[in-house]
Structure 1
Amino acid sequence: MELQNNKSQTEKRQALRERILHLQPTDFERLAMDIFRYQARYNPVYNQYISYLNINPELVTRLTHIPFLPVQFFKNHIIKSVGSPGDGSPVASAIFQSSGTTGQQTSQHHLFDETLYKTVSARIFQENFGDLKQFHILALLPSYLERNNSSLVYMMQHFIAESQSELSGFYLKNVEELLQTLTFLSSNPDGRKVLLLGVTFALLDLAESAYDLSFLSKIKELTVMDTGGMKGRRQELLREEVHDVLTGRLFVDKIHSEYGMTEMLSQGYSHGSGLLLPGFSMRILLRDINDPFAIYDQNITKSKTGGINVIDLANLDSCSFIETQDLGRFGETEGSFYVMGRFDNSDIRGCNLMVI
């Protein structure tokens, strides 16, 4: 019987995985509901959480009625929906760990399906910016590279490989090498776009350095992307203040941003002004700041601020329904959102977001 149950779970998972990979917008809600019922049954931590709330998963029929797992659970539990202890279940191929200040307990996210993560993240990027092969990707991520368990570095390693550019790569503290590469690319040797992606403090350090960066204006298609985070290296600033410095000193008219975190496998991207668009496998809901079980959809007043709840279908093997500690509001564009900051009592951590 146990063997049959394991086979049934495997078959259900494979069917859900295929639907994620071929997901169209009109099927999002139905697939989310099916993943909810799958995880409510096969994820021990999520199952217990739902049980404590006295919720019958079979009676949940709308996205706004789904219980969202508080993100703090990733600090104290292994959140997985693949097998049970002692049954020979898969071993994680990677364990992502969030950054944090000294003494803080950090989140861990166990990755069991590298191909799913890579495929979803690449599709989200390419739907926003175009084919990865059209880019030279320069990643200025010193604080992340100093660790070996960053989901952002893992994703960028994949993007760099997919770009098939000998000039794509990571830069830890070798700023002069980065500038040499950018100088060469300013001559537009092959017509590719240039993506300069970096953690906030590193981009600010570059922008405020003594180097003459005026040559950057010669790069016709330069995308500067801020992944957020001062990492305790600099004073926290408002997003507008940061982007004013970066646009002026890096000779671009806008700064793009990425929204993601260790506990998520999908991403959202901003093309400027802080307005974020969730990836195809992701949807944002807001909850009442005083009642975490009162969930809003996007048919509420756009100026209303609430706690951000994320539906991330790519989290098939962990939990797709995450109650974050971020504050946000909806944008005017369908599905879009702004990140307004964090709850006062939440941990300061290195997720990819900036305060507006």
Structure 2
Amino acid sequence: MTTREQHSAIFNYQSTIHDLRSTIYDFITHADLATFDDHTFNALALGLFEYQFQHNTVYQRYCQQAGVTSARLAHWREIPAVTTSAFKRVPLACFPHEQATTVFHTSGTTQQRAGKHYFRDLQFYRAALLRSFKAYCLPDCGPIRFLFLAPTAKHFPNSSLGYMCTALRDEFGAAASAAFFTPEQLQIGCVRRAMESASKENTSVFIFGTAFNLLAFMDECAAQSIRFELPAGSRVLDTGGYKGRTREILRAEFQNMLCACFGITKNFLLNEYGMTELSSQFYESRLPHTPLTDEREGVKFMPPWVRVLAVDPNTMQPLPSGEIGMLRVYDLANVDSVSAIQTEDLGRAWQDRIELLGRASDAELRGCSLLTEMIK
């Protein structure tokens, strides 16, 4: 029996697309978050590729142009990846994109075309989000008071981060959870009063903000010589960057500012890495009782329904584990679009974690540009 036949035999009971979707959903909701079984992932990834090859016509043409069909693949590493830029060119969906219940747009300047990620529904996105977040950001406590210095779905309906914040508030938020960022402004005075109130009540808070908004808030507090001593168990999560939007500082300096401003230790600083083109997130966390641990700075953990390779920027071929390259993400939660996404980020990748090192240079992005040009 060939390798392909062996993988097909694992799922020979699957006679419909519904069965495949149910199997992936069960894996996301029940898999051991500390166990990375490549045999199971491989079978699911190949099954998902076959579904996407058959039902995503744009992706099918792309794969055929690269000489790849579902019958020729034996391992998830061989699944063709589309670039994040491809989402700006054409709809990448396994269903008529006009029927999408949700469309998340990428951020960018007004001169840039926004990328669009079309969702048949948010079943897989929500399941992946809540499972990972609980494991790495709230492993030691139940409902907590969220203070969002980030988008929410009410004001940013096409933002994946906005959906994320709203879903987290609905699922894990305690009373008095609130958001303080609108399209018009970051409500700095309201944030300050909410923190003062939590301190008086001795109630732990979860501050969730974009790095840009957190830096703006801390600069304002520093200008007024304001510091907080947040109650025990409080934590701060930052996501995104601030390059080109405000002054640039080193990561270590940013973390020191967070600790000084909010009166917490580095063990309660969290970082999230995600993107509109994915349905799963990565977390840097030193909280107790997380599924995985790592003492190194900047290492982020992935869930077992995700794999990442670092690829050579020139050849776009996979590199050995731990070598620096452009990160390529395989996300099983991307059920109805494309599971394999070539990012423009540099980093190192291992079986269950990554280290993010920043954006690739223009020269390093040439390989990505060639892949993008193949999308029609």
Aligned counterparts of 2:84 and 2:63: Cα–Cα separation in 1: 15
Deviation for aligned residue 1:233? 2.8
Q: Does 1:57 align with 2:70?
A: yes
Q: Does 1:295 align with 2:294?
A: no
Aligned to 2:360: 343
Q: Does 1:151 align with 2:175?
A: no
Task: Provide the aligned length of Structure 1 versus Structure 2.
Answer: 326
| Contact kept in structure 1, 2:345 and 2:358, CA below 8 Å | yes
Aligned to 1:101: 109
Aligned counterparts of 1:29 and 1:65: Cα–Cα separation in 2: 11
Q: What residue identity is the alignment partner of 2:270?
A: H
* Aligned CA distance change for structure 1 residues 228 and 280 (closer, same or farther; 3 Å): same
Deviation for aligned residue 1:177? 1.7
Residues 1-356 of structure 1 correspond to what in structure 2 (within 5 A)?
A: 8-24=16-32, 25-26=36-37, 27-82=40-95, 85=96, 91-130=99-138, 133-141=142-150, 147-172=156-181, 173-189=186-202, 193-209=204-220, 210-215=223-228, 217-230=229-242, 232-254=244-266, 255-271=269-285, 273-292=297-316, 294-296=317-319, 298=321, 302=322, 304-330=323-349, 335-345=352-362
Deviation for aligned residue 1:143? 10
Cα-to-partner distance string for 1:75-99 (whole Å, 9 max, x where unaligned): 01111123xx5xxx88211111011
Q: Which runs of 5 or more structure 1 residues have no equivalent in the other structure?
A: 1-6, 348-356
| Contact kept in structure 2, 1:90 and 1:112, CA below 8 Å | no
Superposition CA RMSD, Å: 2.6
Q: What residue identity is the alignment partner of 1:237?
A: I
Higher mean alpha-carbon deviation, 127-136 vs 306-315, is at: 127-136
Cα-to-partner distance string for 1:317-349 (whole Å, 9 max, x where unaligned): 111110111111136xx52111111122269xx
Aligned counterparts of 2:61 and 2:122: Cα–Cα separation in 1: 27
Q: What residue identity is the alignment partner of 1:151?
A: S
Residue 81 of structure 1 aligns to a residue in which SS? Answer: coil
Residue 80 of structure 1 aligns to a residue in which SS? Answer: coil
Q: Could you tell me the TM-score, scaled by structure 1's length?
A: 0.83
Aligned counterparts of 1:124 and 1:319: Cα–Cα separation in 2: 21
| Contact kept in structure 2, 1:133 and 1:162, CA below 8 Å | no
Deviation for aligned residue 1:168? 1.0
* Aligned CA distance change for structure 1 residues 212 and 166 (closer, same or farther; 3 Å): farther
Cα-to-partner distance string for 1:29-48 (whole Å, 9 max, x where unaligned): 32122212221222112111
| Contact kept in structure 1, 2:235 and 2:270, CA below 8 Å | yes
Q: Quote the sequence identity (%).
A: 29
Cα-to-partner distance string for 1:95-126 (whole Å, 9 max, x where unaligned): 11011012011111112122322122001101
Deviation for aligned residue 1:55? 1.5
Aligned counterparts of 2:195 and 2:340: Cα–Cα separation in 1: 40
Deviation for aligned residue 1:231? 6.8
Q: Which runs of 5 or more structure 2 residues have no equivalent in the other structure?
A: 1-14, 287-296, 367-376
Aligned counterparts of 1:40 and 1:280: Cα–Cα separation in 2: 23
Residue 346 of structure 2 aligns to a residue in which SS? Answer: strand
Residue 295 of structure 1 aligns to a residue in which SS? Answer: coil
Deviation for aligned residue 1:316? 0.3
Aligned counterparts of 1:246 and 1:145: Cα–Cα separation in 2: 27
* Aligned CA distance change for structure 1 residues 277 and 164 (closer, same or farther; 3 Å): closer
Residue 304 of structure 2 aligns to a residue in which SS? Answer: coil
Q: What residue identity is the alignment partner of 2:124?
A: L
Cα-to-partner distance string for 1:11-30 (whole Å, 9 max, x where unaligned): 54444444444445432232
Aligned counterparts of 1:219 and 1:175: Cα–Cα separation in 2: 20
Aligned to 2:374: none
* Aligned CA distance change for structure 1 residues 176 and 330 (closer, same or farther; 3 Å): same
Cα-to-partner distance string for 1:182-227 (whole Å, 9 max, x where unaligned): 122224556xx42101111211111122345433x24111211111
Deviation for aligned residue 1:129? 2.5
Q: Could you tell me the TM-score, scaled by structure 2's length?
A: 0.79
Aligned counterparts of 2:199 and 2:271: Cα–Cα separation in 1: 22
Aligned counterparts of 1:143 and 1:181: Cα–Cα separation in 2: 17
Aligned counterparts of 1:326 and 1:259: Cα–Cα separation in 2: 11
Residue 262 of structure 1 aligns to a residue in which SS? Answer: coil
Residue 99 of structure 2 aligns to a residue in which SS? Answer: coil
| Contact kept in structure 2, 1:65 and 1:295, CA below 8 Å | no
Q: What residue identity is the alignment partner of 2:110?
A: T
| Contact kept in structure 2, 1:247 and 1:253, CA below 8 Å | yes
Aligned counterparts of 1:226 and 1:148: Cα–Cα separation in 2: 20
Residue 119 of structure 1 aligns to a residue in which SS? Answer: helix
Q: What residue identity is the alignment partner of 2:107?
A: S
* Aligned CA distance change for structure 1 residues 198 and 267 (closer, same or farther; 3 Å): same
